[in-house]
Amino acid sequence: MTARFVWHDLMSTDPEKATAFYTQLFDWRVNPMPMGEYTYNMLMNGPDDQAGFGGINPLDPAQGMPSHWMCYLNMPQGVDAACAKIVELGGTVVQQPFDIPGIGRMAVAADPQGAVFSPFESFQQPDPPPPPYPTPKGGVTWHELMAPDPAAAASFYTQLTGLTSSIEDMGTGPYTLLMGDGENDYRAGIWPMPEGMPPNAAWMIYFEIAQETMDEALAEVTRLGGTVNMGPMEVPTVGVIGVATGPTGAVFGLMKSAPMPG
């Protein structure tokens, strides 16, 4: 079994503003969950209570970190063994493993180039199912690492996760793919860090747009108080993508997937 992305948290300096922005943009629902000193807004994409895919956590501005999305990687070897491997491979454990009662065990780590992610181990479902395809509107459709050194990043993540990598031309130049156990089991991509971006690598989550066209989705980003960073950009056989920043500073991707072949 290989690692799989299973959860997504927005760490936001203004959870109320972020919740209003994303729920309107993607038609998500929110299930508020009291967590003692704060409320965790679980994000739901669909009509039932099993449609949770992430949540919004408060981020103290005094920490000096901007708002950001966090990917959770379910680690087959367990969180503690994964953290030891992360350090062995040159990464950093930012927050040591801890339990979420009844849910799982997690940590926060950074790869050698600075991209932050969360190693995760579920107490309930050790072998999470693959995401639905085609991706429903508002669903998580892709994970992409922007890295100054894609080859080094691929080496780190394949050794950590058991995934394999290959370089393909997606019509926009060489692109590194991280793959799972079966044919066409694509888990994530690694893209060279564009010029002018911060020096640290960063994971970005793409969401399937709720609007009919990417132009409409990007216009809605602007209307709701976000900023369009890139797009629309067509990627052959994949679809149309865009990149935006939410009103509290978190960067995310938007996708209008190409129709299924046949």
Tell me the DSSP string of 169-211: E-SSSEEEEEE-SSTT-EEEEEEEPPTTS-SS-EEEEEEE-SS
Q: What is the mean pLDDT of residues 16-33?
A: 95
Contact criterion met (CB below 8 Å) for 207 and 141: yes
Percent of the chain past pLDDT 70, that is, above it, reads 94
Indicate the pTM of the whole model: 0.93
Please give the pLDDT value at position 128: 63
- C-alpha span between 7 and 251 (Å, rounded): 17
Taking residue 30's Cβ as centre, other Cβ atoms within 10 Å add up to: 16
- State pLDDT tens for residues 122-164: 988 666 666 777 889 999 999 999 999 999 999 999 999 999 9
Report CA Rg, the chain.
18
Q: What is the mean pLDDT of residues 110-114?
A: 96
Structure tokens at 193: 């860090």
Query: What is the SS3 assignment for 24?
Result: helix
Please give the pLDDT value at position 13: 95
Taking residue 229's Cβ as centre, other Cβ atoms within 10 Å add up to: 16
Q: CB-based burial of residue 141 (10 Å sphere; 0-12 exposed, 13-18 middle, 19+ buried)?
A: buried
Please give the pLDDT value at position 77: 93
Structure tokens at 235: 């990627």
> Tokens 């978190």 appear where?
250
Structure tokens at 74: 């379910």
Mean pLDDT, all residues of the chain: 91
Q: Cite the beta strand spans of the chain per DSSP E.
A: 4-12, 29-34, 39-44, 52-58, 68-74, 92-100, 104-110, 116-122, 140-147, 164-169, 174-179, 186-192, 202-208, 227-235, 239-245, 251-257
Please give the pLDDT value at position 87: 98
pLDDT at 194 over 70: yes
Please give the pLDDT value at position 213: 97
Domains of the chain plus CATH, in order, are 4-122 (3.10.180.10), 140-257 (3.10.180.10)
Which residues lie below 8 Å from residue 121, measured CB to CB, with a gap of 6+?
74, 75, 78, 79, 104, 105, 106
From the list 259, 9, 10, 26, the residue with the least C-alpha distance to 137 is 26
Contact criterion met (CB below 8 Å) for 19 and 8: no
Please give the pLDDT value at position 37: 83
